[in-house]
Amino acid sequence: MLTNSASSPVDTRPTVSRRFSVAPMMDWTDRHCRFFLRLLSKNALLYTEMVTTGALLNGDHERFLRHDEAEHPLALQLGGSTPADLAACAVMAQSAGYDEVNLNVGCPSDRVQNNLIGAVLMGHPGLVADCVKAMLDAVSIPVTVKHRIGINGRDSYAQLCDFVGQVREAGCTSFTVHARIAILEGLSPKENRDIPPLQYDVAARLKTDFPELEIVLNGGIKTLEACHEHLQVFDGVMLGREAYHNPYLLAEVDQQLFGSTAPIISRAEALAAMRPYIAEHIASGGSMHHITRHVLGLGTGFPGARRFRQLLSVDIHKTKEPLALLDQAAQLLEGR
């Protein structure tokens, strides 16, 4: 765990493992999604959706920081570029029990660019370093950075090393590298996840040139076999869309990547474990769809999978007995 200034509060939480993590994904990795993913893997590090400093400082911070104790190990990803604001939000995160704070230097959205948030910060390494130092001085939990390998107009390897070097000097020791550049004009955020080519070799070179740093690879990883291969080079792997669309992949993470001897949870067991959580959410006035939209990926690759998804994505909006519908969907998972 990172240690900070002498005035920082002492934190006794265990060191965070970033050997395998699920990426922060807007509109996807909310607290319901994270509760579900935690049932599949006890060891995967989970990240929140990106939360801006403005939302925390000027909005309902309790709502944005809300999470279930079962979600740990859990990191809060922040979007912002004002050191004092990020420091204040890092303190909020630590007080709320988060295990890590991560700064977003990878989002290519036009909306966040205009506020100096996300990938545009790759062009301001000194500012990112100031942000990281301010957060590190304020908290005792780890402060990490998730970034691209460059942006258009600043995509040389020397410029990438300059960015990492300056942020390292500020005290950051863990970098999650999305191995694509970000094209800040002309491509949508979705296109920026596919069109710029993956350059794992650039990320690997970064690990060679900064051996003392923890380098976690992100981008295009889809199987545990690929995770094993990348872990021969990198300190950790982060999965994004594949973990969301095919979440049952996480069921073998603890055994394959962390050496667990616990039995692998079945699809049916995972959905059954969600039932009390869903029932409580409904009882408090919530909609079952808020949660079950995240479990649709359990229904992939077997006869009845299409019916499973239909029950929980279409029929759910027509029923007056959502839990009965959930039980009907659960029956389709038996033996899967």
Tens-place pLDDT, residues 13-53: 668 999 999 999 999 999 999 999 999 999 999 999 999 99
Mean pLDDT, rounded, of the chain: 93
The answer regarding whether domain 20-258 maps to CATH 3.40.50.720 reads: no
| Residue range 226-263, pLDDT digits in tens | 999 999 999 999 999 999 999 999 999 999 999 999 99
**Is the whole model's pTM more than 0.75, yes or no?**
yes
- The reported pLDDT for the residue numbered 304 is 84
Catalytic: which of 89, 107, 172, 227?
107
Whole-number percent of the chain with pLDDT over 90: 85
Phi first, then psi: what are they for 64, rounded to 5°?
Answer: -70, -30
Active site residue 107: yes
> Helices 267-283 and 322-333 sit at what angle, rounded to 10 degrees?
170
- Domain boundary assignment for the chain: 20-258, 267-333
- 114's CB contacts (< 8 A; 6+ apart) are none
| Residue range 115-166, pLDDT digits in tens | 789 999 999 999 999 999 999 999 999 999 999 999 999 999 999 999 999 9
3-state SS, one letter per residue, for the chain: CCCCCCCCCCCCCCCCCCCEEECCCCCCCCHHHHHHHHHHCCCCEEECCCEEHHHHHHCCHHHHHCCCHHHCCEEEEEECCCHHHHHHHHHHHHHCCCCEEEEEECCCCHHHHCCCCHHHHHHCHHHHHHHHHHHHHHCCCCEEEEEEEEECCECCHHHHHHHHHHHHHCCCCEEEEEEEEECCCCCCCCHHHCCCCCCHHHHHHHHHHCCCCEEEEECCCCCHHHHHHHCCCCCEEEECHHHHHCHHHHHHHHHHHHCCCCCCCCHHHHHHHHHHHHHHHHHCCCCCHHHHCCCHHHCCCCCCHHHHHHHHHCHHHCCCCHHHHHHHHHHHHCCC
| Residue range 86-118, pLDDT digits in tens | 999 999 999 999 999 999 999 998 766 667 899
Q: Is the pLDDT of residue 302 over 90?
A: no
Q: How far is CA 119 from CA 148, 193, 234, 265, in A?
A: 7, 12, 22, 37
- The reported pLDDT for the residue numbered 142 is 98
Q: Is the pLDDT of residue 293 over 70?
A: yes
Q: Is the pLDDT of residue 54 over 90?
A: yes
- The reported pLDDT for the residue numbered 190 is 84
**Residues 146 and 111: beta-carbon distance below 8 Å:** no
- The reported pLDDT for the residue numbered 2 is 35
Q: Which residue has the higher pLDDT, 318 or 75?
A: 75
**Residues 130 and 178: beta-carbon distance below 8 Å:** no
- 268's CB contacts (< 8 A; 6+ apart) are 330, 333, 334, 335, 336
In whole angstroms, give the CA distance from residue 295 to residue 283. Answer: 20
Residue 163 tokens read as: 């960015």
- The reported pLDDT for the residue numbered 9 is 45
In whole angstroms, give the CA distance from residue 283 to residue 273. Answer: 17
The answer to whether the Cα torsion of 251, 257, 258, 263 is positive or negative is positive
In whole angstroms, give the CA distance from residue 46 to residue 75. Answer: 6
Q: Which residue has the higher pLDDT, 218 or 304?
A: 218
